[in-house]
Amino acid sequence: MNITHIQAFPISFPVPADKSVTLGIGRSVKRDAVLLRVETAEGLVGWGEAHHGRCPGAIARLIDTTLRELVVGMDALDVSGVWARVYKMQIGSHGMGAAAALALSGLDLALWDIRCQVAGLPLYQLLGGRNRAIKAYAGGISLGWQAPESLVEEARAYVDQGYRAVKLRVGDSVARDIARVSAVRAALGDGIDILVDANTSYTLDDVRRVMPAYDEMNVGWLEEPFPAHDLGLYRRASMLGRTPLAAGENHYTRYEFDPLIASEAVGFVQPDLSKAGGITESLKIAAIASARRLSINPHTSATAVNMATSISFLCGIDNPGYFEADLTAYNPFRDNMADKPPYALDSEGCVSALEGIGIGLRIDEAFVAAHPLIEGPCYV
């Protein structure tokens, strides 16, 4: 089952002005992703998604050159061997490298797709799990920096759809953050879980000032107050209140997650399967977290591939937490890329894996071809 060809597809779509959301990293103007297609000598084709890393063309070029040269000819079913080779020859010997981790993540997802086809099994079953209800929260590029009354209206609409948890974007100013969270809590009551995400925009003093209010409003977690490398700040901030910290979206491989988890600074672990090293590596990360009784709450990337894979992954591990449902107002990568939506919400505010081989989706290659890369930043 040798790998014969690998090809990356950097894809984009512009975000209409009336669908744009502002958060700690700027205002959304377009969405990017990198899909990865792997072919085998037997004619099987697997699809994966690599996070774009704000530079999808560079990630695609890395896949089409370095990764292709390293793994073409290897056994597509040997996911551990492929992972180890890329790690040794690219990541371990030339620095951890976020770009290499993103590219490897997409490759690994595509290889697991092929493994599922060979086994004739859904991904969750191949992982040793079963299809089950996974709690979902309303997330994605939504619930951003806006007037409190507008934010309340948006959050209430998601609760009306059935979501029992919402994630608000903070990191604006202490006063405005508290005002927004307070307005949503007052409107939704205590029965809805409110999570907040600072998108790495807080200082330690900001956390010291917001934490009493977040504690009083029973916020479920404060996500990424700082950049991933500021582990010392995470440790100090974790002692400033009762609201637990969450992180992992911008951590890569077990070698970055292990010290984060060992620090006991975070209460929720959030690998992105399209960033952290794919399924092969995220299983190791989940095991490290499980040993400390921490749940896995994946960050969701842009397309249906990552979303459906994340749900199947959560069904296959013993410590699943929340699935981040993408409530981005306009996302054709979620809605139109495949033959069906990647998930549906049930009456209890949960999602479950799609049935069928692999993640249960078929990619529309014509759609992919119709959305070529748009140069420039995705946030301004």
Beta partners for 358?
122
The reported pTM is: 0.97
Residue 96 has what pLDDT? Answer: 62
The two tokens of residue 274 are 């399209």
* pLDDT one-digit tens code per residue, 137-175: 999 999 999 999 999 999 999 999 999 999 999 999 999
* pLDDT one-digit tens code per residue, 61-91: 999 999 999 999 999 999 999 999 999 999 9
* pLDDT one-digit tens code per residue, 208-245: 999 999 999 999 999 999 999 999 999 999 999 999 99
Beta partners for 247?
269
Average pLDDT for residues 323-334, to the nearest whole number?
Answer: 97
Mean pLDDT of the chain: 97
Which helix or strand (DSSP H or E) is residue 169 part of? strand 165-169
Alpha helices in the chain (DSSP H): 56-62, 68-71, 79-86, 98-119, 123-126, 148-161, 174-188, 204-216, 231-237, 253-262, 278-291, 304-316, 332-335, 365-369
Q: Which domains does the chain have, with CATH numbers?
A: 3-122 (3.30.390.10), 124-359 (3.20.20.120)
For 185, other C-beta atoms within 10 Å of its C-beta total: 21
Residue 281 pLDDT greater than 80, yes or no? yes
Residue 353 has what pLDDT? Answer: 98
